[in-house]
Chain A
Amino acid sequence: MIENLDLSMVNWARATFALTAMYHWIFVPLTLGLSFLCAFFESIYVKTGNQQWKNLTKFWMTLFGINFAIGVATGIILEFEFGTNWSNYSWIVGDIFGAPLAIEGILAFFLEATFFAVMFFGWERVSTRMHLFSTWMVAVGSSLSALWILVANGWMQHPVGMTFNPDSARFEMHNLWEVISSPVAIGHFVHATSSGFLLASLFVVGISSWYLLRNKHKKFALRSITVACVFGLLSSIFVAFSGDEHAFITSTTQPMKLAAMEALYTGSSGAGLVAMGVPNPFKQPGDEQDSFLFKIEIPKILSLLATRDFNGFVPGIDDLLYGNTTHNIMGVDEKIGYGKQAVTALGAYKQAKKDGDTTGATAALEVFDQHRAYLGYGHLLSVEHAVPPVSLTFYAFRVMVSLGTFFILLFVLYLYLLKRGTLERNYPLLLLGVVGMFLGYVAQQAGWIVSEVGRQPWAIQDMLPVTLARSNLDTGTVMTTFFLFLLLFTALLIAELKIMTHQIAIGPEGE
């Protein structure tokens, strides 16, 4: 069956999933961040009693509502795809994903649905403090729902707290806390949510800057910018630190991803960080070609980031593929050998159970248990298949980091000019603020490309390659759904842009 797998089906299924996830992530980060900004704006209104802050809050809340309404349920399509295109994966992880997604459903539904209604319908119907409480609860609820889905994603990147059951062919959870508190899951959560805060701040700054450029709603824009810049600056600094911590964790849990992020083929002690460079597109693992056509490197910084030691050893792609005895790194070739033993033992166990051979089943299970950690490697076509797309991961990482640095500078500049009272006359910076809003989305997508492309070929790290996670479907079916989604999501995006730009053109009440 497996030798007949149609790889192009896998690629269409990958493309469909990537398309859905990328469109979904246009809406999600803005929801995460704008909900908190609305809570900040409303808190100021409640504290000062100033009606203008109330109007300001209502305006941003309307944009939040538009984004929420257009984006809501787009994530469900990912679940459709699990069942149809990724049925093996869906079956195998059912037990792990069931709990977090159920918790998400309950928490998100009760928190968001209840307080969302109070937030939008309750301005004149509930007390000021009750309304403020509801706004905060919507913000907390949004982040909580993101927690569970990111826990699930974190588990795929670093599967802990589970055991593979050879009878049911499923990973079964034995420790929910271990799944939730996994450093990868926590790292994903804090980095993704704080980047959402950053994006929402850029969004508020961008639209407010546009008003200033058009000489409209000046007081409103300056107030919005002040709060958004403080939140944005704090968020962007937090994003930088959480990203650093995330990369540090990746160096131990997914060293191949880190090597791809740096296009590092040969590991070294005191490894430098490539600040700028062009990876050699013809470079293959194990060959003698240079990894880069051109690069500017900061000495020893990669070692510091990956090992917290200037002279620490950072393994390259070749070390991870072919092993490095000096640094006690087992190569993928050896892992494939163990993986094949695990796969064979699993097959023998299945057959022995079918034949009623208890002794044979016990013996096969013993062999499987010895090699189960390498199960996924038994399905890799070759050693080199363990390498993710290097150039895409490398460039996406640099886009994300460069933009992240740019955003910190942008917020600092805005705050400086706000303090001097000259922001509204600085047209080039205001224009940069508008552009920055769009660049925020680029950074978001680049971050997910690093995370998801960088972990290829694995659907579940070391356990299940993507090629085995899919369903046995023909390419045409999956290709059709790809274009259907392209159509649906593009229509939704156009609707969002149209309604939002109309609302922005109207502007806040009472201005």
Chain B
Amino acid sequence: MPLQHVYTFYRDGFRSMVVGKTLWKIIFIKLFIMFAVLKVFFFPNFLATNFSSDAERASHVLTNLTEIQEHSQLGSKQTPH
């Protein structure tokens, strides 16, 4: 059974790991911190959280894109050429 071979291959591989065991621990701790702590508590998706539809999200971004800053100093310098 090819699937059984694949299973045995991975099982034996994981069992024979030396440095790999420590590395896997680090990987799992890291992924836990990233996905269960950072992503959940510190990195909500701003647009997904604050708006309920794509149309609202597009409208919000468009509003930001269509407001010109008031303090523009356009042409404050003259061309030296």
Contacts and interface: CB of A to CB of B under 8 A. Distances in A.
A77 B35 CA distance: 9
B20 A91 contact: no
B23 to A, nearest CB: 4
Contacts of A336: 72, 74
Interface residues of B, number: 51
Interface residues of chain B: helix, strand, loop or mixed (majority): helix
Interface residues of A, number: 73
A64 to B, nearest CB: 11
B72 A318 contact: no
A69 B26 contact: yes
Contacts of A503: 19
B78 interface: yes
A343 interface: yes
Interface residues of chain A: helix, strand, loop or mixed (majority): helix
Interface string A305-339: 00000000000001101111110000101001100
Contacts of B22: 499
A481 B73 contact: no
Contacts of B58: 91, 167-170
Contacts of B62: 166, 169, 346, 350
B20 A484 contact: no
B14 to A, nearest CB: 8
Contacts of A492: 26, 30
Given A121-B9, A471-B46, A481-B43, A382 B80 contact: no
Interface of A: 1-3, 62, 65-66, 69-70, 72-73, 76-77, 80-81, 83-85, 87-88, 90-92, 117, 120-122, 125, 166-170, 285-286, 318-319, 321-326, 331, 333, 336-337, 340, 343-344, 346-347, 350, 375, 378-384, 468, 471-473, 477, 480-481, 484, 488, 492, 495, 499, 503
21 contacts: A2-B67, A3-B67, A69-B27, A77-B34, A80-B43, A84-B45, A91-B61, A117-B13, A121-B14, A125-B12, A169-B58, A169-B62, A321-B77, A344-B68, A350-B59, A350-B63, A381-B73, A382-B72, A382-B74, A384-B76, A481-B43
